[in-house]
Amino acid sequence: MSGNRKIIGFMTAAFVAALGTVACVQATSENGSSAPKVVEESLVQDAKVQATGVPVDEKGWKEEPVIRDLRNPWGMQFLPDGKMLVTMLSGSLLKIDPKTGERIEITGLPEVTAIGQGGLMDVSLHPKFAENGWVYLTLAQGNGQGNHSVLARGKLVGNNLEGTQVIFTPNFKKPGGQHFGSRILWLPDGTLLMSLGDGGNPPNSMNGKFTRYYVQDMDSDLGKLLRLDENGKPPKDNPFVGQAGAMPEIFTLGHRNIQGLARDPISGRIYANEHGANGGDEINHIEKGKNYGWPKATFSREYSGPKITDDTSLPGMVDPLVAWTPCPAPSGLAIYTGDKMPNWKGDLFSGGLAGRDVRRIDLDKNGKVLGMTHMDMKERVRDVRMGPDGYLWVMLEGANGRISRIIPE
Ligand SMILES: [Ca+2]
């Protein structure tokens, strides 16, 4: 390791939010106080990645709130006419006009179970939405004893989803209200990626085994990134098709809970962020068929303190591009592709729930991390998207739940 070291401030346990669905707890200092302390951060990617703390402040930006009075929003998607589809975790889908503030509730949704971190989650348009009107949703179904995230779609006609159907159901039912995954990302070949979490923290179990330990099992959809066609079926060129005992929908494995997915349209690289438990949140460069390590290799610790594993890296498993301790609890991920903030072009932007920030990961054209900064949003950040206007759009939770865009200062 060499050079480029900075002294930066830790965020504190006070940042853990009050919504009761926090999947990632901030570490307190050793004496139990929440007073800020300093740590060294290294951004140099020699040898093994190290877990780093809160990056230095990004300069030259400000938040412009556009849509206010949202209660626990989860996902957002721009429509071709400039309006937005916005999901509420509690189960409603709104069409909102950012210009006038007009909001209309969309009807025709499938049954949604709002439980803990689960409910109505991501929303995404079919790449040929202008022709076919298909809206894709991820949502929780089931009950406290057994539930999962499913993929559904319906055709948006006026303010109603017609012919709504669940088109993919995973092969597990896990208990409790944690770790639903649920981000959607379309790929240029017309298939989509959908994330699924590890089912929850111990002692959450299925058939006498912690749900976490199904993540490395190829016959389980827990803790996987799936690749599905537009009808919710596994494409024949998925990496584990034909492998005995492996689910054909699996694209990558070894994930705890992916809450952000983005693809760089220039390089074609796919990125995901995911939650660790106590420390060890990650950004990963996603490549077909690879194993991202959870829970065998991680910087994360149990919430009670002990190590989950001695290994932060293992042969045959992919190291994260970035690891963060303490946790920002990442949610929402975007590549900046606009012209309004020229320095940001091609960089990754990762929202943070516990971190209450948006972190910029400065990437070079080869995908190497050059540095990081953060924008303190002072509210839990649930989603980050590129807007058609060339600005970065951010969805914030909390009492003042809103959607804002980031504009030059
Ligand atoms: Ca990992």
Q: What is the domain partition of the chain in residue ranges?
A: 5-408
Helix and strand counts by DSSP (H, E) for the chain:
1, 30
Which DSSP state fits 295? T
CA 294 to ligand 1 center in whole angstroms? 5
Ligand 1 geometric centre to CA of 405 (Å): 30
Question: How many angstroms does the Cα of residue 80 sit away from the middle of ligand 1?
Answer: 36
> Given this model, what pLDDT does residue 399 score?
79
Please report the pLDDT score of residue 47 as a whole number: 53
Hey, what CATH class is 5-408 in?
A: mainly beta
Grouping H, G, I as helix, E, B as strand and the rest as coil, residue 244 is coil
The pLDDT value recorded for residue 33 is 35
**Contact by Cβ (8 Å): 272, 287:** no
The Å distance, Cα 297 to ligand 1 centre, comes to: 6
Ligand 1 centroid–CA 99 distance in Å is 40
Give the pLDDT confidence score for residue 180 in this predicted structure: 98
- 132 CA distance to ligand 1 centroid (A)? 37
- Residue 386 CB neighbours (<10 A): 18
The rounded Å distance from CA 330 to ligand 1 centre is 14
pLDDT at residue 49, rounded to an integer:
85
Task: Out of 126, 148, 179, 275, pick the active-site residue.
Answer: 179
Instruction: State the Rg of the chain over Cα.
Output: 20
Report pLDDT for 21.
37
Q: Find the 67 Cα to ligand 1 centroid distance in Å.
A: 35
Global confidence as pTM: 0.89
> Separation of 255 CA from ligand 1 center, angstroms?
6
Strands of the sheet with 84-88, listed across from one edge: 73-78, 84-88, 93-96, 103-105
HSE-up of 397 (CA within 13 Å, CB side)? 28
Q: 390: which residues sit within 8 A by CB, 6+ positions away?
A: 338, 339, 340
Is 148 catalytic? The answer is no
Tens digit of pLDDT per residue, the chain (409 long)?
333 333 332 332 222 232 333 444 433 333 333 333 333 344 434 457 889 999 999 999 999 999 999 999 999 999 999 999 999 999 999 999 999 999 999 999 999 999 999 999 999 999 999 999 999 999 999 999 999 999 999 999 999 999 999 999 999 999 999 999 999 999 999 999 999 999 999 999 999 999 999 999 999 999 999 999 999 999 999 999 999 999 999 999 999 999 999 999 999 999 999 999 999 999 999 999 999 999 999 999 999 999 999 999 999 999 999 999 999 999 999 999 999 999 999 999 999 999 999 999 999 989 999 999 999 999 999 999 999 999 999 999 987 899 999 999 9
Ligand 1 centroid to Cα of residue 373, in Å, is 22
pLDDT at 298: 97
CA of 197 to the centre of ligand 1 (A): 13
Torsion sign (Cα): 207, 142, 352, 288: positive
The helix/strand/coil state of 224 is strand
